[in-house]
């Protein structure tokens, strides 16, 4: 995982068009939101911060596939328990992936 970076640095820090997982924070310390993109992580973060939740900082990690991005998102979701995620990470339509975290009802 790389970061935290200020949201003004998205395009300079995320230089590949790639699936990946990311974390958003209002203060650069607390994990407020965990997300992923199956196609373009920089675009997804840009859209997320435009939704008015006051996020100022992000962390990210590239993934080799959408499934790996989902696994990473699940691990961070359970590890950090972000306050702004109201639901467990969802799988894309048509897939049957399960959460990799033991004991999770989605595993
Ligand atoms: Zn889970």
Spatial distance between the Cα atoms of 106 and 70, rounded to a whole number of angstroms: 12
Q: Determine whether 7 is exposed, middle or buried from the number of CB atoms within 10 Å of its CB (0-12, 13-18, 19+).
A: middle
Q: How does residue 52 score in pLDDT terms, banded at 50, 70 and 90?
A: confident
Cα(64) to centroid(ligand 1), Å: 20
Cα(53) to centroid(ligand 1), Å: 24
Range of the domain at 25: 2-80
CATH label of the domain that carries residue 69: 3.40.1440.10
Q: How many structural domains does the chain have?
A: 1
Residue 43 falls inside a structural domain? yes
pLDDT value of position 37: 97
Cα(97) to centroid(ligand 1), Å: 11
Cα(89) to centroid(ligand 1), Å: 7
At 78-101, the pLDDT tens digits run 999 999 999 999 998 999 999 999
Cα(8) to centroid(ligand 1), Å: 31
Residue 87 falls inside a structural domain? no
Cα(28) to centroid(ligand 1), Å: 24
Residue 86 falls inside a structural domain? no
Residue 72 falls inside a structural domain? yes
Residue 10 falls inside a structural domain? yes
Cα(102) to centroid(ligand 1), Å: 8
Spatial distance between the Cα atoms of 82 and 78, rounded to a whole number of angstroms: 8
pLDDT value of position 64: 97
Write down how long the chain is.
107
Cα(40) to centroid(ligand 1), Å: 23
In this prediction the pTM is 0.94
Residue 104 falls inside a structural domain? no
Residue 101 falls inside a structural domain? no
pLDDT value of position 51: 74
């Amino acid at each position: 995982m790389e970061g935290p970076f200020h949201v003004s640095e998205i395009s300079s820090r995320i230089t590949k068009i790639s699936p990946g997982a990311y974390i958003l924070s209002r203060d650069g310390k607390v994990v407020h939101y965990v997300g992923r993109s199956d196609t373009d992580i920089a675009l997804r973060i840009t859209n997320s911060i435009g939704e008015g939740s006051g996020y100022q900082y992000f962390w990210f990690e590239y993934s080799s596939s959408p499934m790996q991005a989902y696994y990473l998102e699940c691990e961070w979701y359970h590890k950090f328990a972000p306050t702004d995620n109201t639901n467990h990470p969802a799988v894309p339509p048509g897939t049957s992936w399960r959460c990799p975290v033991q004991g999770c009802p989605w595993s």
